[in-house]
Amino acid sequence: MGFPDIRPRRLRTTPAMRRLVAETEVAPRSLILPLFVREGITEPVPVTSMPGVVQHTLDTLRKACVEAVEAGVGGLMLYGIPRAKDANGSGATDPDGILNAAIREVVSEVGEASVVMADLCIDEFTDHGHCGVLAADGSVDNDATLERYAEMALAQAEAGVDLVSPSGMMDGQVGVVRRALDGAGHTNVGVLAYSAKYASAFYGPFREAVDSSLKGDRKTYQQDPANATEAMRETALDVAEGADLVMVKPALGYLDVVRRIKDAVDVPVAAYNVSGEYAMVEAAAANGWIERERAILEVLTSIRRAGADIVLTYWATEVARGFR
């Protein structure tokens, strides 16, 4: 498996991209807003475990993206929730599927004013809820899954995405995605790799947000929370395979990993302030146990202080507005 030629210019392609990866200023431009869009609904559906977060319609998604961009948020990460699922997650590669339709809508709405990203994983689209194709014994087939990821990357690139974000923790996923993109002429589409993604208890609310069908767990492909050196190996492999940015997920329980990776690589480092971290703060604040705005800023500051250049957070727009 040969590696692609490395093109650092991918991170200089637009003013929004250059603003996103600038190395010093702490500002709204370093925040990414994750957004959920659901097929077949006419009104936003609240995510009960994440107060203030909803599953969007295409129309409300566009509006939320405009609000985020106007507030100065640096990027938008899209997740699609299909009406129907199957074993191979076919909706993920359908050009008219909800995620690819959402990419086109958002790119059309905000253009070069933001960096439009999309999750590159089939778990939201599979009826078994795993991040890959299942083998006969029920295990996740790594190499068969890579073929689906390559197809999904091309579908997202054709829809106009700026960055694809392979999140399934399959071995070799970045290299396969990079080669697929380059082979189809999408050399300016970048890769934000989920390089150190842990099998965490803090994803619970997210699974409600994406209507996950998962039974069991993902411990055979996501990392063991006990391991940090393993994260360094995973990240080094992703960078070697052509990742333009790398990510640690979750953030708060893994700030040491964020710092170690930041010190080791020469690409921007992102950290995902995940749903469980968000929900804990919101629940404690709702009960009057902590000061909400101070806690939010302290959480995000700690992630940046640990070395994250970019933070994915559901508070992105609110923080960018200065809690107005």
Question: Catalytic site residues?
Answer: 197, 249
Residues contacting 70, CB < 8 A, separation 6+ = none
Name the burial class of residue 207, with classes exposed (0-12), middle (13-18) and buried (19+) by CB atoms within 10 angstroms of its CB.
middle
- How many CB atoms sit inside 10 A of residue 52's CB? 11
DSSP codes joined into one string, 67-83:
HHHHHT--EEEEEEE-S
Closest CA to 311 of 254, 251, 255: 251
DSSP assigned state of 86: B
Q: Whose CA is closest to 178, among 245, 233, 230, 126?
A: 245
One-letter identity of residue 293: E
Q: DSSP characters for 126-159?
A: BSS--SS-B-TTSSB-HHHHHHHHHHHHHHHHHH
- Range list of β-strands (E), the chain: 31-38, 45-46, 54-56, 75-81, 115-120, 163-166, 190-197, 245-249, 269-272, 310-312
Distance CA 38, CA 61 (A): 10
Alpha-carbon distance of 14 to 66, in angstroms, equals 18
